[in-house]
Structure 1
Amino acid sequence: MLRSLRILAVVTLGLGLALPAGAASAAAPPHPLTSFADILDLRGTPTSAQPAVQGTDVSDINVFADRGAWHAYALPKAGDSSSYGAFTGPLYVAQEYPWWLSKGFSRLNLSEGGQPLDLAAARNPVLTSLPGLLRQSFDLNGLRVTMELRYASNRTALVQSSVENTGNRRRSLGVGWSGALLRPDAEPMRSAPSLSATPQGVAVGFAKVRETWNYLTDGTERFQVTHAEPVTTTVSGDSYATSLNAPVELSPHGRQTLTWAESYTFTPAEAATEQPVVARALAQPWLTVAADEARWFGYVASATRGVPVSRQRLAVKSVETLVTNWRSAAGALKHDGITPSISNKWFNGLWAWDTWKQAVGTAIFDPALAEAQVRSMFDYQVTAASADRPQDAGMIPDCVFYNDVAHGGGNWNERNSKPPLAAWAVWSIYQRNGDIGFLRELYPKLAAYNAWWYRNRDHDGNGLAEYGATVDPSNVTAEDKRQAAAWESGMDNAPRFDATLGATVVDNTSASGAVVGYSLNQESVDLNSYLVAEKQTLALMADRLGDHSAAATYRASAATSTAAIQQTMFDPASGWFYDTALGTGQPLTARGRGIEGAVPLWAGVATPPQAAAVRSKSVSATEFATPVPFPTTSASSPYFQPTGYWRGAVWMDQAYFALEGLKRYGFGNDATALATQLRSTASGMMGNGPLMENYNPTTGAALNSRGFSWSAAMLLALDH
């Protein structure tokens, strides 16, 4: 480690941007992570304050954030010379919704002899991203300008601009910055931001706006630019201009670096806490840079270890995707977590099963962040002391956001849970870092979660559970409850949950006859396979913690459930696993084959002959081996829709379960071939396109949200 840090120090100083002001520097060598440059195309400039709605505009902008910050940036496009000298954005999250604050809030301005130097006339522009930073450079009138943006903390981006005199005469330059607000089109959002000058730069304040489905601020949010050097700022309407108080004097081939910080905070307490962080970053930026480089070198090394060279860029793209969607604790979110997609209007919260899958991928390069993710959901595990739902003790809510229900959180959802994969996530993290304290902390909570499923979601008490819904103000009608139950599966509109095909709900009652929840009228094969896997994992945890009696109990229960799945949920005639009708135990084959029928292989609950039958369908081009393999509904199904979300689109989590299941039962060559086909056919996956929420199985076209976290996490996990 010490040797690595010494090498890092030499590399960092070689870049020239982190040197103390006025220090001499040599020509910058290539960055050691250059081979991972521009893994994602992060170039673009917004035309409106609100990002395009996902799924309707594939030209929307990919962004970069780090350390859990709630604001993100991009690069100008090559050729967009009017944007040179500024990083695109920021994109800030108004508690739950992303908005562009500016096309480029801090644009560098240079002048000489009182005359402006036109950055639009710059030559040799290089606009690039590297793991952990954005960079742009260009030549202008005998000057070489290089700018880098990285994150100093979970609230602050650090920007450095190096101006080098490439000529043989002394230069005296005026330096300044300018920017303008990009206001939302409609009120009250339009009037929310306001500019003001500060002694060290400029700030944006935000009025209180409580538009539940569009924009949420408390009137305490603040975006602030703080310069290391003395400056003067003037504000005019929606625009500002900041100028350096003293000219920059450059000797021939001399260089000076200017440093500033861009912070986005939610509360006065956060702003106060961030002040010393900003001060340290501005006083000694080289320390921030060195720590940041070391962290990212570690990320890249962990993500690419053992991965074939041909897939290493995809591995690093997965890391960049997860890190950009990392949000630090704020509002009702008590721990850091990873959201599905910062770019999607509706996806800036934390979902339970997203979290379990994302933690498995994140643990590969940052186990501490993976632990925080898991805690972020268990923070809201229901207990018997709950005033609203004590009957749901052990349950994990579907999703949590910056605002809970009491504070106007319309996106917060406790009307259902999500599939139980938490023990798998915790054990995966433990296998990476050996943190026995984390295991000891989570084990009783995981046990309570597992018990809740059987207490509140096993209508007939036969040991096979059903997806369902909670007793909740939002679950009023039978259709409300059916919808919540479909959401609880995570496969919202899958054919097996269609009301027109017979899916409905039944009441679950306590011994006293009180309704404690609702179940679908079908026992789901994926749910019960997940529950077996959870019990098997809880047994491993119990043994590791010394509770061998509990371990034996979990193993016995898992064996019983395994036998029930094998005997009732597999249809020999069609060679596939299905949900079964509540009461009769008959497989619901008329609803078609779904990818959930492959989950028993991942969980290890299929017999070898059953696994061979599933393998046969998995490698068939008319079933699940479509050009992008593993559609959520078989290509032979009458309900197959390639762009139908859970009715045919390919999701990386389900592909992961299917591939790992094949490997588990000895079909490794098939899994390798199908995984290669998937990666090469899914649009942009092996290029510089974003990792998408899902893909068209017949064309490979990208579908729905860009920069999707569990796609990134599962792609990482496939190689580790």
Structure 2
Amino acid sequence: MAVGLAPAADAARPAHGAPPAHAARQDPARHTTATADRQAADPEATGIRSAYANVLDLQGVPAAAQPGEFNPVTVFADRGAWHAYALPSVQDPSTHGGFSGPLHIAQEYPWWLSKSFSRMRLTEAGEHLDLAGGGAPRFTSLPGALRQTYRLDDGLRLTLELRFATERTALVRARVHNTGRAPRTLGADWTGTLLRPEAAPQRDAPALSATARGVAVGFARVREKWDYLTDGTERFEVTHREPVRTTVEGDTYRSELAAPLTLAPGAARSLDWTESYTFTAAERASEASSVRRVLAHPAANALAGEARWRRYVAGVTRGVPADRRRLAVKSLETLVTNWRSAAGRIRHDAISPSLSYKWFTGGIWAWDTWKQAVGTARFDPRLAQSQIRAMFDHQIRPTSATRPQDAGMIPDAVFFNDQADGGGNWNERNSKPPLAAWAVWEVYRRGGDRAFLREMYPKLAAYQAWWYRNRDHDRDGLAEYGATVDPANDSTEQRRLAAAWESGMDNAPRFDAGLGTSVVTNRDASGTVTGYSLTQESVDLNAYLAADQDHLADIARATGDRAGERRWRARAEATHRAVRERMYDPGDGWFHDIALDSGKRLTARGRGIEGAIPLWTGTASRPQAAAVRDRLTDPREFATPVPFPTVARSSPYFAPQRYWRGPVWLDQAYFAQAGLRRYGYAAQSRTLTDRLLTAAHGLSARSPVMENYDPLTGAPLNSPNFSWSAAVLLPMLSQR
């Protein structure tokens, strides 16, 4: 099926759900305030908490239930939760005492449940106390937590801290501290109002109800393929540790602490509650036990969370220069917020591209996963393994009832729902570039789990075999990007489009139909159609295949398969040699795709960043690498103000804000700068990398990590809080 179709569109969206042309001119991620900027350090925090406070601006309050295509409020989640929160607005007292949200994922799409579902208030002698009565509150995002600090008067302090206790539950701790000289007797209550979707049938999906220890929201079944998906079993539930009395009126509730809170001078008391979002009755039952355990020991749970985040921060900042460590932690927070635990058809924990972009929220992509796993392995190798398994869970088996000819293939994208469940974003029309063995090897290097290598080895071998069986039209050892036999690939143009998606560089000039790109049909020995190939053999694809063959040789050696090591090493050398000899053009000092029929290098399509991949993979000869280096360091080519555009500045097709026709994508920048280092050009690599990190707008500030950037101005483009950008920043920052 088509992936990420807009509701009214007739043509399929790009595999990464490319936004409309106007979106590239927007900066949806900017949501800053002067007050927030003054809160860059939290004087009450210590250690990593103070050093890395507010690396992202997480202040914001939703205006409507539907965030729009781009969510302007950057949020925080952890442990793979499918709901997230932000900090309220300092300037708006009506938001004080609660965390913005939650933003919850209706299987595949993000929706705001409330402006602030659990807004806490304190009372004394029957009167509500002004939370800002003693001065402006302080709102702080910390590694692994959100914090609010209030001074109500000269003798009363309130601190709220939210962190995630499990993959389905957030823990909120409210610490009330009497700093005065007289005892205080206080009441407490919590209130919230639903943000109801505007359009039916989703408008009528959520419903409030009181529970014995708080309040719950149930959801009716809604199957709006492109907007809102629920099964009628989802539930959001607030559970208090202390007894409360809850009343519900329409879309608003109030939970009141059953007994007053008496604090002697100098005494403090914590009021704790959980906020859980589950998809099924079985999950709800299991999570109820988890909630009881969390609320029985909330302090221990919070301390365990802090210890985990200290490990995370240590992992991503190791070897990073001091002035770049906040960026490393921002990348860490981006990846963790985009972490989704197993749910629906996603059977292992994985990382989605971005919770901030509608079409990227509820699914995972193959080559995103390979890059994200490499970054994640620096702070959590087990989570990195899980991501890889999440994609290989859907590797096509020889026994497949619908596509046995694709045995070994990894689908492009998998979501909470496949087509049989009414999902529209699942995509098996194509695969994605083969970087899986690289990812597996890098995860092993960080975690040392040899059993993981043994588990993945045959699966990686099957994926390699699929490429040469179904994507090498002329059986010459050089593969092509292509398309599968799929109902949606029902025309030459749809097959060409799917093949471009398979490259990951959806609209790159080298795939333009107007420049001669078309497709041919692939058949097996019996004449059965097995798929389609572009009429060109691509340099990046074959360099990636060679690198993965090298990594498979490494895996074979590590698992004791010496014969396999020799076979893979020989295969890799043959692939490297073919790319080196057939795809490099000495006339312009660059690697190019070649025509399938003639073997002619397609130089008229201009130079693309894919021509630098043979440096990253070690494919290029020394003289070839020197020539590529000259192009990468030339301001008229790839050394633009923000270096490493996807199309050379000299190309007639260079378009600095058109997705894969000019913007700087950080994954390709990583490959290019790492390739320079591999061939001994460390100084040039460092200079260009430093320029990129400085000139890409917001990277070194508190703005989100973006999907891509304008190479001439540094303007942020497309999806904010983008996972693979965050993932590849980690090795870029440490240069290792």
What's the TM-score, normalizing by structure 2? 0.93
Whichever residue aligns with residue 87 of structure 2, its letter is: L
Q: Distance in 2 between matches of 1:641 and 1:352?
A: 27
Pick the aligned partner of 1:169 from 182, 198, 218: 182
User: How far 1:405 sits from its partner (Å)?
Assistant: 1.4
Structure 1 residue matching 2:62: 3-state secondary structure? coil
Pick the aligned partner of 2:77 from 65, 68, 73: 65
User: How far 1:31 sits from its partner (Å)?
Assistant: 5.2
Alignment of 1:478-493 (within 5 A): 478-493=492-507
C-alpha root-mean-square deviation of aligned residues, in Å?
A: 1.1
Correspondence 1:634 to 2:648: yes
Alignment of 1:309-708 (within 5 A): 309-348=322-361, 349-708=363-722
Q: 1:297 matched to which residue of 2?
A: 310
Q: Are 1:82 and 1:119, in contact at CA under 8 Å, matched by a contact in 2?
A: no
Structure 2 portions without partners, runs of 5+:
1-42
Q: Are 1:81 and 1:122, in contact at CA under 8 Å, matched by a contact in 2?
A: no
User: How far 1:78 sits from its partner (Å)?
Assistant: 2.2
Structure 1 residue matching 2:275: 3-state secondary structure? strand
Q: 2:114 matched to which residue of 1?
A: 102
Query: After superposition, what is the alpha-carbon deviation per residue over 1:306-336, rounded to whole angstroms, capped at 9, x for unaligned?
Result: 1110111111111111000000000111100
Q: Distance in 2 between matches of 1:145 and 1:123?
A: 12
User: How far 1:547 sits from its partner (Å)?
Assistant: 1.5
Query: After superposition, what is the alpha-carbon deviation per residue over 1:501-531, rounded to whole angstroms, capped at 9, x for unaligned?
Result: 1111100011111111000000000000000
Q: Distance in 1 between matches of 2:156 and 2:298?
A: 23
Whichever residue aligns with residue 150 of structure 2, its letter is: F
Q: Distance in 2 between matches of 1:512 and 1:654?
A: 40
Structure 1 portions without partners, runs of 5+:
1-26
Q: 2:145 matched to which residue of 1?
A: 133
User: How far 1:122 sits from its partner (Å)?
Assistant: 5.5
Structure 1 residue matching 2:360: 3-state secondary structure? coil
Q: Distance in 2 between matches of 1:185 and 1:569?
A: 55
Q: Distance in 2 between matches of 1:716 and 1:614?
A: 25
User: How far 1:567 sits from its partner (Å)?
Assistant: 1.6
Q: 1:9 matched to which residue of 2?
A: none
Q: 1:18 matched to which residue of 2?
A: none
User: How far 1:163 sits from its partner (Å)?
Assistant: 1.1
Q: Distance in 2 between matches of 1:470 and 1:512?
A: 17
Pick the aligned partner of 1:154 from 148, 154, 167: 167
Structure 2 residue matching 1:297: 3-state secondary structure? helix
Q: Are 2:207 and 2:218, in contact at CA under 8 Å, matched by a contact in 1?
A: yes
Query: After superposition, what is the alpha-carbon deviation per residue over 1:45-64, rounded to whole angstroms, capped at 9, x for unaligned?
Result: 0111111323xx7xx11110
Whichever residue aligns with residue 194 of structure 1, its letter is: A
Q: Are 1:109 and 1:116, in contact at CA under 8 Å, matched by a contact in 2?
A: yes
Q: 1:234 matched to which residue of 2?
A: 247
Pick the aligned partner of 1:50 from 59, 66, 82: 66
Alignment of 1:242-281 (within 5 A): 242-281=255-294
Q: Distance in 2 between matches of 1:77 and 1:647?
A: 38
Q: Distance in 2 between matches of 1:360 and 1:473?
A: 34
Whichever residue aligns with residue 151 of structure 2, its letter is: D
Q: Distance in 2 between matches of 1:562 and 1:299?
A: 37
**Identity score, percent:** 62
Q: Are 2:132 and 2:150, in contact at CA under 8 Å, matched by a contact in 1?
A: no
User: How far 1:183 sits from its partner (Å)?
Assistant: 1.1
Q: Are 2:663 and 2:709, in contact at CA under 8 Å, matched by a contact in 1?
A: yes
Structure 2 residue matching 1:703: 3-state secondary structure? strand
Q: Are 2:132 and 2:152, in contact at CA under 8 Å, matched by a contact in 1?
A: no
User: How far 1:123 sits from its partner (Å)?
Assistant: 1.7
Structure 2 residue matching 1:144: 3-state secondary structure? strand
Q: Distance in 2 between matches of 1:351 and 1:28?
A: 40
Whichever residue aligns with residue 34 of structure 1, its letter is: S
Query: After superposition, what is the alpha-carbon deviation per residue over 1:221-255, rounded to whole angstroms, capped at 9, x for unaligned?
Result: 00000000000000011111110001111112221
Query: After superposition, what is the alpha-carbon deviation per residue over 1:98-149, rounded to whole angstroms, capped at 9, x for unaligned?
Result: 1111111000011111111233646231100110000001111331110000
Q: 2:7 matched to which residue of 1?
A: none
Q: Are 1:82 and 1:120, in contact at CA under 8 Å, matched by a contact in 2?
A: no
Q: Distance in 2 between matches of 1:541 and 1:526?
A: 22
Structure 1 residue matching 2:354: 3-state secondary structure? coil
Query: After superposition, what is the alpha-carbon deviation per residue over 1:240-293, rounded to whole angstroms, capped at 9, x for unaligned?
Result: 111000111111222111000000000010000001111111111011011101
Query: After superposition, what is the alpha-carbon deviation per residue over 1:671-700, rounded to whole angstroms, capped at 9, x for unaligned?
Result: 000000000011111111110011111111
Deviating beyond 2 angstroms after TM superposition, the runs of 4 or more aligned structure 1 residues are 27-33, 118-122
Q: Are 2:346 and 2:414, in contact at CA under 8 Å, matched by a contact in 1?
A: yes
Whichever residue aligns with residue 212 of structure 2, its letter is: P
Q: Are 1:356 and 1:422, in contact at CA under 8 Å, matched by a contact in 2?
A: yes
Q: Are 2:633 and 2:639, in contact at CA under 8 Å, matched by a contact in 1?
A: yes
Pick the aligned partner of 1:33 from 36, 49, 53: 49
Structure 2 residue matching 1:346: 3-state secondary structure? helix
Q: Distance in 2 between matches of 1:642 and 1:166?
A: 57
Alignment of 1:9-20 (within 5 A): none
User: How far 1:166 sits from its partner (Å)?
Assistant: 2.2
Q: Distance in 2 between matches of 1:360 and 1:291?
A: 25
Single out whichever of 30-39 and 587-596 deviates more from structure 2. Answer: 30-39
Q: Distance in 1 between matches of 2:265 and 2:173?
A: 21
For these two proteins, the number of residue pairs brought into alignment is 690
Whichever residue aligns with residue 716 of structure 1, its letter is: L
Would the alpha carbon gap of residues 476 and 215 (structure 1) be closer, same or farther in structure 2, given more than 3 Å must change?
Answer: same
Would the alpha carbon gap of residues 188 and 31 (structure 1) be closer, same or farther in structure 2, given more than 3 Å must change?
Answer: farther
Structure 2 residue matching 1:161: 3-state secondary structure? strand
Q: Distance in 2 between matches of 1:384 and 1:559?
A: 29
User: How far 1:543 sits from its partner (Å)?
Assistant: 1.4
Q: Distance in 1 between matches of 2:200 and 2:713?
A: 41
Q: Distance in 1 between matches of 2:610 and 2:403?
A: 30
Structure 1 residue matching 2:272: 3-state secondary structure? strand
Structure 2 residue matching 1:123: 3-state secondary structure? coil
Q: Distance in 1 between matches of 2:504 and 2:619?
A: 21
User: How far 1:28 sits from its partner (Å)?
Assistant: 6.5
Q: 1:189 matched to which residue of 2?
A: 202
Whichever residue aligns with residue 63 of structure 1, its letter is: V
Structure 2 residue matching 1:33: 3-state secondary structure? helix
